[in-house]
Structures are given as structure tokens and as C-alpha cells.
Amino acid sequence: MFDTKVIADNFPYLLSGVKFTVALACLVILIGTFLGVILGLMQVSRSRLARYPANLIVEITRDTPLIMQMFFIFFGLPALGIKLGTFPSAAIAMSLFAAGNAAEIVRGAIDSLPLGQFDAAKSLGMNYVQMMVHIILPQALRRMIPPMMGLFTTLIKDTSLAAIIGAFELTRAAQEIIERTYRSLEIYLVAAALYFLICYPLSYYTRKVEQRRVAGV
């Protein structure tokens, strides 16, 4: 009943999908974190000009399904003359999604710092940039790490949505094999196992960091 040969035969093809999943995830994590820090700082800025656009992006990316954002960028944006391929569409949608969520983590971490830190920095005669770089961000960083790593795990899993708009990665590779073999259970289980192998070490490590932080070490 359970066909192991179909797994062995198609395993290399699944691995070729893993390459794209990892590439997409890395790309999105890098761009998303970078943009997220900028957006997060804009959100805590005193200038409305910085706060409002940042809030807009954060709300839209966090309060709508990622797949809708992908559909909108892939199917909808061509109406405005912006025409992107499947992989770039997925990468851009996911980077914005990652940035919005990362920004919220950055903002949360900064907001959670005691006000005294801001006052102390000002009394030392630091300007805004100096204060952020030397006092606020290093402290906020420690609080950001566990939720950021949680976000990275979510992003790796969410790369599977790229398959829905037709970008090639692990899930799409699995679908293509199933189109030939009709062995859904075997192929999807192996794909799930591959995702698990990528995600579990990260979420295990996240928990360790979190425990250490809570323990105050």
C-alpha cells in the first residue's frame, strides 16, 4: 500500500525543490529583517511623516493573509504596469510580509525598554541616532531575538505558499511528482519531513534561547 519506491525514485527531484525553498527563505529573511528594522524605527519615530507610512505597511501586511498579498502582487499589480515573475512575486510579497512582522517585533522590543534609558541617553548629550545605535538598539536586540527566530520559522513554512502562484520550490516539486504518480500521501509526507528537518532545529534553538532569557542568564 505504502509505496516506498516512488519516494526513492523522486527524492532527488524533491531535493531540487528544497534548494529553492532554502534560497527563497534566506532571501526573504535577509530583506525582511533589514526592512523590518527600518520600519520598526520609523514606527517609534517622533515624525508623523515616518510613522504613518510605516504603520500603513505594517497593518496591511500583518492583517491580511499572505496568500492574498501574493495574489495581489502577482495577479493584481500588472494592472498598474508592474509585471513580475512567480519567484520575484513570491519573494517580494514574502519580504513585505516579513518586514511588517519584524517591524512589530522591533517596535515591541523598543517600547518595552524602561523610559529611563531614553532619558539617560539624552542627559549624556546624545542625539537621536547616537541614542538608538549605542543605547536603545543593543538592549532591544536581546528582547527581539526569540520572536525574530519564531518569525523565521514561520517564514520558512510560508515559502510553501509560493507554490500556489506557480513558483518552483519544495511544495511545487511535490505537486509535480504527484501529477505523474498520484501518490499524494507518500510524497506530501516526505515533503513535510523535509520541512520539519529545516524548521525543527531553528524552533528548538529558539526555545533554548527563550528559556535562557527567562532564566535571566
Which residues of this chain interact with another protein, rule CB under 8 A?
1, 9, 13, 52, 55-56, 59-60, 63-69, 71-72, 74-81, 83-86, 153, 157-161, 163-166, 168, 171, 174-176, 178-180, 182-185, 188-189, 191-192, 195-196, 199-200, 203
Nearest approach, Cβ of 74 to another protein (angstroms)? 7
- Give 117 or 203: the residue with its C-beta nearer to another protein: 203
- Give 108 or 145: the residue with its C-beta nearer to another protein: 108
Nearest approach, Cβ of 166 to another protein (angstroms)? 6
- Give 38 or 192: the residue with its C-beta nearer to another protein: 192
- Give 126 or 143: the residue with its C-beta nearer to another protein: 143
Nearest approach, Cβ of 130 to another protein (angstroms)? 29
Closest Cα to residue 69, out of 43, 32, 116, 33?
A: 32
Nearest approach, Cβ of 175 to another protein (angstroms)? 7
Closest Cα to residue 18, out of 156, 161, 189, 202?
A: 156
- Give 130 or 211: the residue with its C-beta nearer to another protein: 211
Q: What is d(CA 33, CA 39) in angstroms, rounded to the nearest whole number?
A: 10
Nearest approach, Cβ of 68 to another protein (angstroms)? 5
